[in-house]
Amino acid sequence: MTSSNGTINSAKANQQPHLRVIPLGGLHEIGKNTCVFEYGDDIMLVDAGLAFPSDGMHGVNVVMPDTSYLRENQKRIRGMIVTHGHEDHIGGIAHHLKNFSIPVIHGPRLALAMLTGKMEEAGVMDRTILQTVAPRDVVKVGQHFSVEFIRNTHSMADSFSLAITTPVGTIIFTGDFKFDHTPVDGEYFDMARLAHYGEQGVLCLFSDSTNSEVPGFCPPERSVFPCLDRHISQAEGRVIITTFASSIHRVSMILELALKNGRKVGLLGRSMLNVIAKARELGYMQAPDDLFVPIKQIRDLPDRETLLLMTGSQGEPLAALSRISRCEHPQVQVKSTDTIIFSASPIPGNTISVVNTIDRLMMLGAKVVYGKGEGIHVSGHGFQEDQKLMLALTKPKYFVPVHGEHRMLVCHSKTAQSLGVPADNILIIDNGDVVELTPDSIRKGDAVKAGIELLDASRNGIVDARVLKERQQLAEDGVITLLAVISTDGVMAAPPRANLRGVVTTADPRKLSSWAEREIGWVLENRWGQLCRNTGGSAPDVDWVGVQREVEVGLQRRLRRELQVEPLIICVVQPAPAGTPAYKGRADAEPDTRPAPRGGRDGGRDGGGRRDVVRDSSGRAPLPQRQLATVGAPASAGAAPTTEVAAASAVAAPAVSLPSVAAPVVSAPVVKAAPVEETDPEPAGRIRRRRSAAAE
């Protein structure tokens, strides 16, 4: 079986200099392909992509690999190699340049042209130098790496595999590939160079595993041409086609067919406009200027002479076709005579979004053409026979499957074994694992930190695990804000007020207020001595954040026990001066039958036991990492909270000002019933890419 413990010839390997290969993304997932090659003091990067968020990542725009290792070793970075221009291979570069410099980036013209726009938008053009390459060009990176660019075929034009010469031997890094013997642009896979290195001896092959479960050869891109031609020529009204904007070959064929069938083309979607403009500028796409008509003018043409090419093949909510399906697009509305063609397959995880879009279009009366049986889409990643051909040409001594989910890696390793690669010479790795190579060994070294960074729409703000957890809780169970007035001598000075947003509950507001009153009373009776210290000044030192945390924990437990819900609870405390008259409580309030805590500080609610709030040696609750407001002067005596304050606290938790109170309000961070985790675990599940073309 495939080696998983990384002990191959480990004793001998420890005595020799070795090459370290560290994937930071692209393993056990689809997307954010990022790989580090390291020898001595030299670090070389190969690609730096992004992925798109899954359903539970609320407010997250893109997902990046954790680059802590690169930031810690940035002085050793000598350069980067780019294999092609898909987002899952170049989408993270502009963001990474904000955190560390890369002396030089070598890559194909089309990929670097697309990268230039991203870098200009991010304001990082001065952080690196871009160097374009041609097929069979060789570049030197640092003292120990020499890289030859080998032309390959993929769904995107100007794509390369890499032959990396190192002190320990030659590494073949395939990038994304398939063997297309009739390429649309006439650029054939340079199999001769692969065979050349295979004859010289390849130490290790790192190969694309995306379609390792699919038998046979991947069909050529040109095979979709007659099927698209048939649907376009037979359409009685407008033709609307959606595909990946970065599929230069597919887009070129669609423009060719529009010209053949006498249709003018209107473009929709920012990425579609940008990619076509770059491809035409660099000569990768040939089309006359008069073929294109602005979308506002194309409505004046007869439907029989119109073709709309747009984004939205993956059901992205804001993409052009998705907006059209919801009747939200300002320029285009669906007609019953429209023929809409999905020239793409759903990326795993996007199927529901795509199907919903198709359903909406059909309900509007359009004819929708989709699915494998129509012959209108082929993948850009090789099937099993393509992968076998790569193995046969390169004849690697060691093999590491990359770029795919775990089952794909396992299947690819079995394919390698069927071609004679010993099971002990194969490693299946995960992001952060270190592959250590010598001329006579391959093994796993000590792993480095790897994970994800979640970026919001600005691509500047990092959404950490705590914030993501709060957003998930808000989405699932809503939020309760609680306003309490407590004097500095530990007296509840007014009835608590609760405000619910998005909470589904059978409890009426009076019941909820009664529970909140009991929790506050319990905290004041049993915890006040630990939360308030007399420092000898005019007023005691009260740990108001600790008070809030205690109330939140108690109410959270009660709601979970009584109602089986766990909403986000934000307690806002309004301090009142000592001597404020105590609120007596409602006559119908339920008595609190819980025993007082045993053992003093270690006692707990509901009869004892450990508490959820861990305190320091002084007995005070530690301050959280996030504080929504600060404590100010106490409120005037007898001040009661207003409904406006309670409502405001449901939206956010800044300092709240009462009409008759001068003091700001303290608001606590979110605390669940379980102890707060300080780690940043990677959210489970495969990262779904909504707009990336990596698996097309």
The domain that holds 367 is classified in CATH as 3.40.50.10710
Phi/psi for 340 (5° steps) reads -110, 125
pLDDT of 589 reads 53
The angle subtended at Cα 631 by Cα 630 and Cα 634, nearest 5°, is 155
pLDDT score for 683: 39
Residue partners of 89: CB distance under 8 A and separation at least 6: 33, 47, 48, 49, 82, 83, 111, 175, 176, 694
By the 10 Å C-beta count (0-12 exposed, 13-18 middle, 19+ buried), 136 is classed as middle
Instruction: Identify the sign of the CA torsion 589, 590, 596, 602.
Output: negative
* Structure confidence at residue 535 (pLDDT): 67
133 and 262 assigned to the same domain: no
- The pLDDT, as a whole number, for residue 464 is 63
Find out whether 264 and 291 touch, Cβ atoms under 8 Å.
yes
DSSP assignment, residue 289?
A: G
Q: Are residues 179 and 304 in the same domain?
A: no
Q: Give the domain-ending residue among 374, 406, 436.
A: 374
Give the model's pLDDT for residue 536: 65
Q: For residue 349, what is the DSSP state?
A: T
DSSP state of 657: -
**Same structural domain, 73 and 206:** yes
Question: Which H/E stretch holds residue 279?
Answer: helix 270-282
Domain identity same for 358 and 415: no
In angstroms, the Cα distances linking 415 to 66, 218, 410, 518, 603 are: 31, 16, 9, 65, 61
Any domain includes 472: no
What is the rounded CA–CA span in Å between residue 105 and residue 112? 9
pLDDT at position 395 = 97
Q: Quick check: 465 and 60 in contact, CB under 8 A?
A: no
Burial class (CB in 10 A: 0-12, 13-18, 19+), 61: middle
In a domain, 293, yes or no: yes
Question: Is the CA virtual torsion 170, 176, 182, 187 positive or negative?
Answer: negative
In-domain check, residue 473: no
Q: Which residue has the tokens 């407008």?
A: 238
Output phi, psi for 166, to 5 deg.
Answer: -130, 170
For the record, the structure tokens of 437 come out as 């190579």
Domain identity same for 68 and 187 = yes
**Using an 8 Å Cβ cutoff, are 57 and 454 in contact?**
yes
**Contact at 8 Å (CB) between 602 and 615?**
no
Same domain, 520 and 424: no
- Residues 444 and 490 placed together within one structural domain of the fold: no
Contact 336, 41 (CB under 8 A): no
398, 614, 669, 682 from 624: Cα distances, Å? 49, 11, 7, 21
3-class DSSP state of 42: strand
Distance from C-alpha of 144 to C-alpha of 76, rounded to nearest angstrom:
12
* Beta pairing partners, 107: 132
Give the number of domains in the chain. Answer: 3
Per the domain annotation, does 140 fall within a domain? Answer: yes
**How much is the pLDDT for 303?**
94
Residue 462 located in a structural domain: no
How far apart (Å, rounded) are the C-alpha atoms in residues 364 and 327? 9
Is residue 63 located within the same domain as residue 199? yes
Q: Which residues of the chain have pLDDT under 50?
A: 1-13, 587-588, 598-604, 606-696
Residue with tokens 């031997």: 169
Q: Within this chain, do residues 683 and 575 fall inside the same structural domain, yes or no? A: yes
CA separation, residue 608 to residues 594, 603, 672 (Å): 9, 5, 19
**Residue 56: inside a domain, yes or no?**
yes
Q: Is 221 left (phi over 0), alpha (psi -120 to 50) or beta?
A: alpha
Report if residue 463 sits inside a domain.
no
Of 691, 696, 695, 694, nearest to 310 by C-alpha is: 691
Range of the domain at 505: 478-695
Give, in order, the Cα–Cα distances in Å from 247 to each of 4, 84, 184, 387, 690. Answer: 36, 12, 11, 22, 15
221 Cβ contact list (under 8 Å, min separation 6)? 155, 180, 182, 183, 184, 249, 250, 253, 378, 380
Say which CATH number the domain at 645 has: 3.10.20.580
CATH number (domain holding residue 57):
3.60.15.10
- Whether the CB-CB separation of 574 and 486 falls below 8 Å is answered with yes
pLDDT of residue 142: 95
Final residue in a domain of this structure, among 425, 456, 487:
456
Residues 53 and 200 in one domain: yes
Q: Of the residues 374, 405, 428, which one is the last residue of a structural domain?
A: 374
Report if residue 151 sits inside a domain. Answer: yes
Task: Tell whether 503 and 532 lie within a shared domain.
Answer: yes
Q: Output the DSSP codes for 405-436.
A: -HHHHHHHHHHHHHTT--GGGBB---TT-EEE
Residue written as token pair 């032309």: 151
pLDDT of residue 586: 61
- 200 and 236 fall within a common domain: no
